[in-house]
Amino acid sequence: MEQYKQEFIEFMVESDVLKFGEFTLKSGRKSPFFMNAGAYVTGSQLMRLGEYYARAIHETYGDDFDVLFGPAYKGIPISVVTAVAFHNLYGKEVRYCSDRKEEKDHGADKGSFLGSKLKDGDRVVMIEDVTTSGKSMEETVPKVRGAADVTIVGLMVSLNRMEKGLGGEKSALEEIREKYGFETNAIVTMEEVVEHLYNRTCQGRVVIDDTIKAAIDDYYKQYGCN
């Protein structure tokens, strides 16, 4: 596993973004882990977050794209900090764009988007925190494709939970790839998280001990992808 991925896993734990215990997800599933990108709140955390996304996007998709699109709400700051990081790390200017939950009907910037306008010929990388069901893509992909004649290069999320999406046996990321026809990737997978943290000290404690590991294994027996 690349060094930056190991650092990113520890960064998620340090930032209290990735937690282990007992959590009820929106889907109703009882999960032994939970990720909340809303816990990145400081300047240094957001700077580092953008750098990790930029590195993963550069490694996966290169720099042949024009726009980073972050769905509202959590995708907005992620797309902004990643655009900044991409410029700082690779010297390439990319624009950011996000959608609004409610269309703005006044002022010079009225409409359903924030940031850069999408233009014909734009190559777009979608950017999100985590995708469990793929519901946000159902709302945003038609908006993006309807705004201009663009190509969606791919989607990058923080964490691939590696569990069944709402459609059955495939992961949410696989379902999105099949439904919309663009690549889907994550900075790290849950398998990599477990591999890196199991019985290893992080922040002065063992985050995934035998009990948590057993709970994760049981969870994947029920909800893991084949």
Q: What are 6-59's pLDDT values in tens digits? A: 999 999 999 999 999 999 987 788 999 999 998 999 999 999 999 999 999 999
- If one counts the domains in the chain, the total is 1
How far is 164 from 168, CA to CA, in rounded Å?
A: 6
Is 73 labeled as ligand-binding? yes
Is 26 labeled as ligand-binding? yes
Q: Which residues of the chain have pLDDT under 50?
A: 106-110
The answer to the question of residue 226 being in a domain is no
The answer to the question of residue 200 being in a domain is yes
Is 130 labeled as ligand-binding? yes
Is 134 labeled as ligand-binding? yes
The confidence score (pLDDT) of residue 28 equals 82
Q: Which long-range contacts (CB under 8 A, 24 or more apart) does 188-191 make?
A: 188/5, 188/8, 188/9, 188/158, 188/159, 188/160, 189/159, 189/160, 189/162, 190/33, 190/159, 190/160, 190/161, 190/162, 190/163, 190/216, 191/162
Is 128 labeled as ligand-binding? yes
What domain range includes position 175? 1-221
Active site residue 106: yes
The confidence score (pLDDT) of residue 226 equals 62
* Active-site option among 30, 58, 92, 106: 106
The confidence score (pLDDT) of residue 77 equals 94
The answer to the question of residue 18 being in a domain is yes
Task: Compute how many other C-beta atoms are within 10 angstroms of the C-beta atom of residue 25.
Answer: 14
The answer to the question of residue 12 being in a domain is yes
The answer to the question of residue 91 being in a domain is yes
The answer to the question of residue 17 being in a domain is yes
CATH number at residue 195: 3.40.50.2020
The confidence score (pLDDT) of residue 110 equals 47
Is 27 labeled as ligand-binding? no
* Active-site option among 30, 104, 110, 117: 104
The confidence score (pLDDT) of residue 106 equals 43
Query: CA torsion angle for 134, 158, 152, 63 (degrees, to 10)?
Result: -170
Q: What angle do CA 214, 218, 220 make, to 5 degrees?
A: 120
